[in-house]
Amino acid sequence: MNKRSVGQFLIAFVTILALPVALAECPELPEGKYPGWEERWTGVINKGATQTVLNFDIKVERIITNDAVRIMVFRDSGQYFIETLMKGSEERLIKEDIMLELNNASTSGNWANISVYTPRRANLSINITTLKAFNKERSYVMPNEEVELEIAINNTGELEAREINIVPHFGEFEVVWSDVPANTNLCPSSVMELKYILKTPDVRKKFNYNLYIELQYSDYNPQLGKWNSYAELHSFTILINPPVIEVNKTVGNWTLTNEGREVKVKNVIKNVGNETAYDLRVYDIQPAYFKVEGSTERDFGNLEGGKSRYLSYILTSEEPMMCSGVTKATYRDIYGNEYKVYSNVVEIRFSPFLVVKKDIDDMHWKTTPVKNMFNGEVTWKLDEAKWWNNRTEDVITDNQKEIWLNRTANITVKVKNMGNAIARGVVVKEELKGIEAIGTTSWTGELKPGEEITYSYVARITKAGELNLTTNVTYLDVAPVSLDVELDKLDLPNHCICLCTDKLEEVSFNTKDKFYGLAPDLNVTREETIRVLSGCEFDFNTTIENNGSDSMHDVFVTIEAPDFRFLK
């Protein structure tokens, strides 16, 4: 016997109450209401309902009267017969294998009370009570090891089971010894116990064994004068408890609050089974255009049950990219069975993200707009959940600011790529209303991750009140799409086990607040028409008002009237 520790078998078993084996003569059973028949069920069946009894389904189709019903009977899921059943023992429906009796039916036509009989018979059931290593106190067995199999056969029928023949179908399991009798009989309500000693196979490429025992027997129903023969196949299963590898993959993606170019990937590989996994190899191959710091595949050798290993690395990419992928692990058990498993699907994203910062004179203010589904909608605080998870509701909101500008303001605009991929097709342009600009008010180009551009101009306020001082930004980013990973197509050697897209679309946003100009506003009013007589004196009144929001200095007023002489 091979005693190498090479595996473990498990088997489900059912415990039964063993009864004494019957003597040569079986006791006679009471004949019952109808000799040779046994009542299997009595009860109410509603109209249109079906009652299952053994391998029969009885359906009440129609209540004709309280003495007659129309029934349909199915046997082994196929239609058997449709007939009218009359009330009374003399009106029973009798077939070879079933008898029906109508006890009564409702006058309302809603139900019928029916009794179901079938012929008395022998009925053998089999139970595996133990499966253990021969002469060893343990509940599992090894390959190439002898195992004791205890079996109990119970006659649950009403007749004696005759000429019982037990035929094993044990496949690759060798029968070393058994005490199985040949052509024996078994009385009703009796149990026959027997044993097998089997030798387990040298398991290779198989870890689920279905073993069968066939019972061949007959019975005789003296009241009906009929012999019946039966052949029934009973199965049980032996399992290997293999190693089970699970891979949990997580990605520390760049986010609005996690500024930087790196995407950190971590794989936790755990053997959640009881047996050792051999030749464990983990593959997490990424596209060639990703720059990888660390290893994306590794041979871990053997991994015992309950133990874990880790595979981590860092990714960077110049270009905008979105990928969905998995990690693959391959291994084998001690018997040579090979396994392949995949991790959960994760998303890896490289994307530019532009923010605008403005300096106005000595005042500094900053806006960091967040795109909603890349459509250019703006909020005024970092709203990571909305941007990253494509949520539609406003997660963070902020009241707009009111910014007052003097007559002139030195404005510096800074645009920075806080994302982890290059921003191409960048166009930044000032949109001004109520302001004249001297200097640079636009910029085009591309911005690498972390890169910032600056331009400045002098804004001269041309009117008091509300102004338009808006910075519009557009650039190209990867277009979000659904990437469904199909595992059966990701099995090529050294092939990226992920799906990616580098399709770009235009992203736009703007920075806009409530700006108000501080400027004087000179207003002159006078009488439009004055009627006077020639040579007479008259008063000429002119009103000069500052209706603006800032004071006015060095105001010089002249009045020209060449045809008149000023008295004072």
Burial-class residue 159 by CB neighbours within 10 Å (0-12, 13-18, 19+): buried
- For residue 388, the 8-state DSSP code is H
Q: Give the chain's end-to-end CA distance (angstroms, integer).
A: 137
Q: What is the mean pLDDT of residues 160-189?
A: 93
Q: Which of 154-163, 354-363, 471-480 has the highest mean pLDDT?
A: 154-163
- For residue 88, the 8-state DSSP code is S
Cα 381 → chain centroid: 32
Confidence band for 252, pLDDT divided at 50, 70 and 90: confident
Give pLDDT tens digits for 20-39: 333 358 988 888 899 999 99
Provide the mean pLDDT of the chain. Answer: 80
The label of the residue with tokens 């009542």 reads 39
Phi, psi of 384 (to 5 degrees): -60, -45
Q: pTM of the full predicted structure? A: 0.51
Q: How open is the CA angle 552-553-558, to the nearest 5 degrees?
A: 95
pLDDT at 8 over 50: no
H/E run at residue 78 = strand 78-86
Across the strands, what pairs with 209?
Answer: 238
- For residue 387, the 8-state DSSP code is H
What beta strand segments (E) does 361-503 contain?
363-367, 402-405, 408-417, 423-433, 435-439, 442-447, 452-461, 465-478, 498-501
Give pLDDT tens digits for 341-392: 899 988 888 888 888 888 877 555 444 443 332 233 333 333 444 444 444 4
State how far the Cα of 32 lies from the Cα of 159, in Å rounded to an integer.
14
State how far the Cα of 344 lies from the Cα of 331, in Å rounded to an integer.
18
Distances, alpha carbon 149 to alpha carbons 136, 152, 183, 197, 320, in Å: 13, 10, 21, 6, 65
Give pLDDT tens digits for 304-348: 988 999 999 999 888 898 888 899 999 988 777 788 889 998 888
The label of the residue with tokens 């003399």 reads 90
State how far the Cα of 120 lies from the Cα of 97, in Å rounded to an integer.
10
Output the six-digit token pair for 516.
């108000």
Radius of gyration of the chain (CA): 46
Residue from 198, 50, 222, 208 nearest 130 by CA: 198
Burial-class residue 547 by CB neighbours within 10 Å (0-12, 13-18, 19+): exposed
CATH superfamily of 245-350: Immunoglobulins (2.60.40.10)
State how far the Cα of 516 lies from the Cα of 365, in Å rounded to an integer.
15
Domain borders along the chain are 9-24+122-240, 37-119, 245-350, 354-490+501-516
Q: What is the mean pLDDT of residues 553-567?
A: 72
SS3 per-residue string spanning 333-373: CCCCCEEEEECCCEEEEECCCEEEEEEECCEEEEECCCCCC
Torsion 131-136-142-146 (CA) sign = negative
Q: How many CB atoms lie within 10 A of CB 541?
A: 8
State how far the Cα of 400 lies from the Cα of 396, in Å rounded to an integer.
13
Please name the amino acid found at residue 289.
Y
Residue from 366, 405, 435 nearest 517 by CA: 405
For residue 232, what pLDDT is reported?
94
- For residue 256, the 8-state DSSP code is T
H/E run at residue 29 = none
How many residues does this entry show for the chain? 568
Across the strands, what pairs with 131?
Answer: 149
CATH superfamily of 9-24+122-240: Gamma-adaptin ear (GAE) domain (2.60.40.1230)
pLDDT at 422 over 80: yes
Same fold yes or no, 37-119 and 354-490+501-516 = no
Half-sphere exposure of 324 (CA within 13 A, CB side): 10
For residue 403, what pLDDT is reported?
64
Q: How many CB atoms lie within 10 A of CB 106?
A: 14
Please name the amino acid found at residue 146.
E
For residue 274, give every residue at least 6 positions away whose Cβ sits within 8 Å of its Cβ, in sequence order, or none: 8, 241, 243, 305
CA dihedral (534, 535, 537, 540) in degrees, to 10, reads: 50
Output the six-digit token pair for 185.
């009989």
Of the ranges 103-112, 116-125, 356-365, which one carries the lowest mean pLDDT score? 356-365
Give pLDDT tens digits for 402-421: 666 667 788 899 999 888 88
354-490+501-516 folds as Immunoglobulin-like (2.60.40)
Residue from 156, 167, 182 nearest 17 by CA: 156
Q: How many CB atoms lie within 10 A of CB 164?
A: 22
3-state secondary structure (DSSP) of residue 138: coil
Across the strands, what pairs with 217?
Answer: 230
Confidence band for 395, pLDDT divided at 50, 70 and 90: very low
For residue 331, what pLDDT is reported?
93
Please name the amino acid found at residue 319.
E
Distances, alpha carbon 111 to alpha carbons 53, 71, 101, 472, 542, in Å: 17, 12, 14, 79, 109
Q: Percent of the chain beyond pLDDT 70? A: 75
The label of the residue with tokens 């921003």 reads 423
- For residue 54, the 8-state DSSP code is T
State how far the Cα of 150 lies from the Cα of 178, in Å rounded to an integer.
10
Phi, psi of 28 (to 5 degrees): -80, 140
Give the class (CATH, top level) of 37-119: mainly beta
For residue 189, give every residue at least 6 positions away whose Cβ sits within 8 Å of its Cβ, in sequence order, or none: 19, 155, 156
